[in-house]
Amino acid sequence: MTAFTGVILAGGQGSRMGGQDKGLLELQGQPLYQHVLQRLVPQVNIVLISANRNIDRYQASGCLVVTDSMPDYPGPLAGILSGLQNSKTEWVAFCACDTPWLPEDFVARLWQQRGDAPAVWVRSTLRDHPALALINRSLANDLEAWLLRGERRLMQFLREHGGHAVTFADPESAFRNINTPEDLVNEEDH
C-alpha cells in the first residue's frame, strides 16, 4: 500500500483578501484550512501545512507546519517545494487552503489515473487546478532549480516534467476556491 503525505498550501500573502491570511478566514464557523484538513485527513497518512505566518495558529491543528525555504513569497510552487522537501513519503498530495469542498477521494482518483507520471493534477469541466496535485518527491531538486531561475508557472513545471491532468466530472463547486471577500460571503450562503 502506498503512503501519502498531504500538504495544505496556506503560505500566500492573501493579496486578494486585503492581506489577510486566507487559511484562517472563517467559513461556517471554522477556519478555511480546517475544512480542507477534514477532507484531506482520511485520504493520506500524514498532513503538513505550508504556511509563512500565524504558524502557531496552524500548529494548533496538530499538524507539522513547514515554511517556504525561499524568501519573498514566490508563490504556490515554493509551498510545494517545502512540502516535497519535508515529506517522508514518496508521494505528496497538495491542495490549496481555500478549496473547502475538495472531493473526499481526490487523492485516490489522481493515484489511479497517474499512469507512470511523476505528477498529476485535477482538471474540472471548466479548467485546470494545478494546486490540487499529486507529485512525486523526486521532483524536489528540479523544482528548486526552476524557482531559483525565477520561474513561477506551476502547470508548466508539471507538464515539462512529465505530468498530466486528470479529468474530474464532479460539480464545478467541488473545486471552487475562495479568493475574495465576496467569494467568502457567497460560500456562507451555500
Please indicate if the annotation marks 98 as binding a ligand.
yes
Amino acid type, 103: P
All cell numbers assigned to 16: 486578494
Burial of 1 (0-12, 13-18, 19+ CB in 10 A): exposed
- Whether residue 183 is annotated as binding a ligand: the answer is no
Q: Parallel, antiparallel, or unpaired for β 91-96 and 119-123?
A: unpaired
Q: Residue 47's closest CA among 8, 90, 86?
A: 8
**Angstrom distance (rounded) from CA 171 to CA 124:** 8
Instruction: Give the C-alpha separation, 15 to 64, whole Å.
Output: 25
Cβ neighbours of residue 74 under 8 Å, at least 6 residues apart?
A: 68, 147, 152
Ligand-binding site membership of 68 (annotated): yes
Residue 10 annotated in ligand binding: yes
Q: Which of 78, 43, 46, 80 is nearest to 61 (CA)?
A: 46
Spatial separation of the C-alpha atoms in residues 98 and 88, rounded to whole Å: 25
Q: Is 6 annotated as a binding residue?
A: no
48 annotated ligand binder: no
Which residues are known binding-site members for GTP? 9-11, 22, 68, 98
Which residues are known binding-site members for Mg(2+)? 98
Which residues are known binding-site members? 9-11, 22, 68, 98
